[in-house]
Amino acid sequence: MRKQELYDRVVAYFSEAMPEVDTELHYDSPFQLLVAVILSAQCTDKRVNMVTPPLFRDYATAEEMAEATPEVIYEYIKSVSYPNNKARHLVGMARMLLSDFGGRVPDNLDDLVRLPGVGRKTANVIQAVVFGKSAMAVDTHIFRVSHRLGLVPDTCTTPYAVEKELTKYLPATVIPRAHHWLLLHGRYVCQARTPKCGKCDLVEICKEGVKKKKLGVKELRS
């Protein structure tokens, strides 16, 4: 199957299977989504959604969080991964939003990555989810699924390389949704250690699925 045909088939499948998709993080404003995405680094969305309600109750805006200290924010987020660093990042991010961006979350990559705790992946999530831009955030799920489905070659060994390959072949209009498609597929079906190939409708074009088929794995389409 040619590369573009593969992409077209994957897009067609997800367009039907997941026509409406969005982040599983809970938020009520661009600022709150930015906070949640920063917290989600090497942490599950489920855990983040457990700590953000009291955090957003008391620090719902950049103005409010900028008045806090990292020590105070730490008490709200201490159950997430790397809470000390993230507490510093959140306060620093809020203060920079006020000093450099008038309290508003910027809509472009260059400005977003200036913020403490914001790397390219986080910036792309904000661009896609908040501003509807054709930005592809690549996390571990998307990295894994993209390789297993053959959407990217083995030479794409970094998230940025995967991002460039995906955005090369995906229609710009579907890129914001494609991020969620691949992420959710990796989170719930194409899992790292025990992929649920028997529940996957893309198994016939998947490297993992083809390998299992050759080995005669009986549960492949059970």
Closest among 3, 28, 33, 56 to 125, alpha carbons compared = 33
When pLDDT is cut at 50, 70 and 90, the band that residue 123 belongs to is very high
CA distance 36 to 53: 10
* pLDDT reported for residue 193: 92
Give the separation between CA 97 and CA 3, rounded to whole angstroms.
42
Query: Looking at residue 217, what is its pLDDT?
Result: 58
Cα 147 to Cα 42, 47, 52, 138, 160, distances in angstroms: 20, 27, 33, 12, 13
Question: Between the CA of residue 136 and those of 69, 141, 143, 165, what are the distances in Å?
Answer: 33, 13, 11, 10
**For all residues of the chain together, what is the average pLDDT?**
94
Q: Indicate if the pLDDT at residue 65 is higher than 90.
A: yes
- The mean-pLDDT minimum among 51-55, 178-182, 191-195 falls in 191-195
Provide mean pLDDT across the span 91-109: 98
Looking at the chain, list the stretches that DSSP marks H as alpha helix, in order from N- to C-terminal side: 3-17, 30-39, 45-58, 62-66, 70-77, 83-101, 109-112, 120-129, 140-148, 159-169, 175-188, 207-215
What whole-number distance in Å separates Cα of residue 204 and Cα of residue 209? 6
Tell me, what's the pLDDT at 210? 74
Does residue 68 or residue 204 have the better pLDDT?
68
Give me the mean pLDDT over the 38-50 stretch. Answer: 96
Which residue, chain included where needed, has tokens 């955030």? Answer: 137
Q: Residue 1: its pLDDT value, please?
A: 78
pLDDT higher than 70, residue 219: no
Question: Nearest to residue 128, comparing CAs of 183, 176, 160?
Answer: 176
Do 190 and 145 form a contact (C-beta atoms < 8 A)? Answer: yes
Q: Does residue 52 have a pLDDT over 80?
A: yes
The closest of 24, 4, 7, 22 to 202, measured between CA atoms, is 7
| C-alpha to C-alpha distance for 130 and 189, rounded to whole angstroms | 26
What domains can be seen in the chain, in order of their start residue?
30-129 (1.10.340.30), 195-222 (no CATH)
Active site residues: 121, 139
- Give the global pTM: 0.90
pLDDT digit string, tens, across residues 138-192? 999 999 999 999 999 999 999 999 999 999 999 999 999 999 999 999 999 999 9
Confidence of residue 222 (pLDDT cuts 50, 70, 90): very low
